């Protein structure tokens, strides 16, 4: 039997760089596990993802966040979300990740504060 590829490191890197990405990762991973029986992250990573989403709930903004109930995060569950309610873009992204693997991570950009101009004499 072939080993199931898991994308734990990729997932955690993405969500640590951008907390708003916890929403699509929660939806993709939940879909893959609950509705496709083909997990893309380990149970331990799922627990960490749910905890991160729960801890930062009020700070996270995403157009699919309304699909997730805060109470589900404490239970680390995805059972309440019906397959028909999951956006097709989430289903496709989850399947693509499974089939093709993750895309390359974008480079980390460091934002510098602009400094006031030096006074001219």
In this structure, are residues 53 and 22 in contact, taking their beta carbons and an 8 Å threshold? yes
DSSP string, 87-108: -HHHHHHHHHHHHH-PPPPPPP
Confidence grade of residue 118 (pLDDT, cut at 50, 70, 90) = low
What pLDDT, on the 0 to 100 scale, is given for residue 65?
95
pLDDT band of 6, cuts 50, 70, 90 = confident
Can you spell out the DSSP letters for 35-60?
A: ITS--SS-HHHHHHHHHHHHHTTTT-
Domain boundaries, the chain: 8-100
pLDDT for residue 107 = 78
pLDDT digits (tens, 9 = 90+) for 25-63: 999 999 998 888 788 999 999 999 999 999 999 999 999
- Count CB-CB contacts under 10 A for residue 92: 11
CB atoms within 10 A of CB 23: 21
Please determine, for residue 20, whether its predicted confidence score (pLDDT) is greater than 90. Answer: yes
Q: Return the sign of the alpha-carbon dihedral for residues 106, 100, 88, 4.
A: negative
DSSP 121: -
Per-residue pLDDT tens over the stretch 61-111: 999 999 999 988 888 878 778 889 999 999 999 989 888 888 888 777 666
């Amino acid at each position: 039997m072939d080993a199931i590829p898991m994308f734990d490191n990729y997932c955690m890197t993405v969500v640590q760089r951008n907390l708003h990405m916890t929403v699509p990762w929660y939806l993709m991973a939940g879909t893959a596990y609950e509705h496709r029986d083909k997990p893309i992250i380990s149970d331990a990573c799922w627990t960490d993802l749910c905890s991160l989403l729960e801890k930062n709930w009020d700070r996270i903004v995403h157009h699919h966040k309304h699909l997730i109930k805060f109470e589900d995060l404490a239970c680390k569950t995805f059972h309440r979300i019906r397959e028909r309610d999951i956006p097709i873009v989430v289903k496709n992204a989850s399947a693509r990740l499974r089939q093709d693997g993750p895309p390359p991570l974008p480079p980390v950009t460091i934002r510098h504060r602009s400094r006031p101009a030096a006074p001219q004499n």
